[in-house]
Structure 1
Amino acid sequence: MTWFILFSLLSIGLILILTEIIFVPGTTIIGVLGVIVSAAGVYYSFLSFESSTAWMILGVTVLINFLALIYGFKSGVWNKFALKDSITGGSFDGRLTGLEVGMKGRAVSDIKPIGKAEFLDKIYEVKSDSGFISVGSIVIITKLGDNRITIKN
């Protein structure tokens, strides 16, 4: 029964340390728990066995945990969890395509100073240079840039 308890404590400690390294890196709570459980197993071995056996168990435990640590870093497990793709598009890419300064459209909402206007059968969010513009008014694009459409009445 003593060997079972010792083996259980050391195994649980090793599993927690590997879990910290492989599955939840950076949290440190699971790794610290693993070290505590492993230390409890070593302490239990010093209480239950002769000194020479307990020192041998300590050495084997440290060696196995160190090898597990090395395996965790060299196995390439990190590559499975690492983000390798990046987002290249923007939120409004191509939004202003087809629009030109001087183009006429129609306000589809009150523009005070921001609202919606229709150009080329599409509705765009616009900003007014001339203040309030009521629904249905004809508007003209005065400026395009930075994904913004500036209009006047």
Structure 2
Amino acid sequence: MELLVWTRLPLPMDWLTIALLLLFGLLFLVAEVIFIPGTTVVGLIGFALLAAGIWFGYRDLGAGTGHILLVASLAATGILVYIGLRPRNISRVALNDVNNSHVRDVRLPDVLPGTVGRTLSALRPAGTVLFEDDRREVTTRGEYVAAGTEVRVLRIEQNRIVVESVA
């Protein structure tokens, strides 16, 4: 009885399969660059499909056709990246607003000890006080202060303003 041994030879791919690999690779790159930039996974899948299509083109269709596929894929990818990175296309997905605000530095307090203000809410023991035109969150040493009462700043503790009732 004879034992048949099957050897696995790589099956040549037809031109349609290679063309579909290249097409889907380009479509994934289009999706990455134009529609959903920054996801990276879609772009990596597109790059892998393009690389596989070019590799199979060299392997199964010959070096001449492989060179043509490589140059055509590089040209199409270059055009795609150029179109996707034009300022008009970037402005649709990029953040163009400028934030000119600033954060108040607690090391340089604008409300000094001894400053007098009026409570806007009841301090139980924390609440809001109006110092001239500035609203600030303050706290007391534990006592309750009714809304509308005048208070004086005792001290600044890191990021807390400690006040007491003036009356």
**Same fold? TM cut 0.5:** yes
Segments of 5+ residues of structure 1 without an aligned counterpart are 92-100
Matches of 1:62 and 1:107 in 2, distance apart?
A: 66
* CA drift at 1:109: 5.2
* CA drift at 1:85: 2.3
1:110 is matched with which residue: 106, 114, 124?
124
Between the aligned residues of both structures, percent identity stands at 22
Q: Secondary structure at the match of 2:127?
A: strand
* CA drift at 1:110: 3.4
* CA drift at 1:41: 0.7
Q: Quick check: 2:119–2:146 contact (8 Å CA) kept in 1?
A: no
1:31 paired with 2:43, answer yes
* CA drift at 1:87: 4.9
1:11 is matched with which residue: 23, 26, 45?
23
Matching residue's letter, 1:52 = G
Matching residue's letter, 2:43 = G
Matches of 2:128 and 2:29 in 1, distance apart?
A: 60
Matches of 2:52 and 2:129 in 1, distance apart?
A: 72
Segments of 5+ residues of structure 2 without an aligned counterpart are 1-12, 104-114, 131-135
Q: Give TM-score, length-normalised by structure 1.
A: 0.63
Q: Quick check: 1:105–1:117 contact (8 Å CA) kept in 2?
A: yes
* Deviations, residues 109-130 of structure 1 (Å, cap 9, x unaligned): 532xxx23788xxxx85322xx
Q: Secondary structure at the match of 1:76?
A: helix
Q: Give TM-score, length-normalised by structure 2.
A: 0.59
Match of 1:126 in 2: 138
Equivalent pairs counted in the alignment come to 136
Match of 1:69 in 2: 81
Q: Quick check: 1:141–1:149 contact (8 Å CA) kept in 2?
A: no
* CA drift at 1:68: 1.4
CA 1:63 to 1:102, structure 2 compared with 1: closer, same or farther past 3 Å? closer
* Deviations, residues 25-46 of structure 1 (Å, cap 9, x unaligned): 3443322221111011112222
* Deviations, residues 74-111 of structure 1 (Å, cap 9, x unaligned): 262111011222456789xxxxxxxxx65666973532
* Deviations, residues 59-86 of structure 1 (Å, cap 9, x unaligned): 2122212221222212621110112224
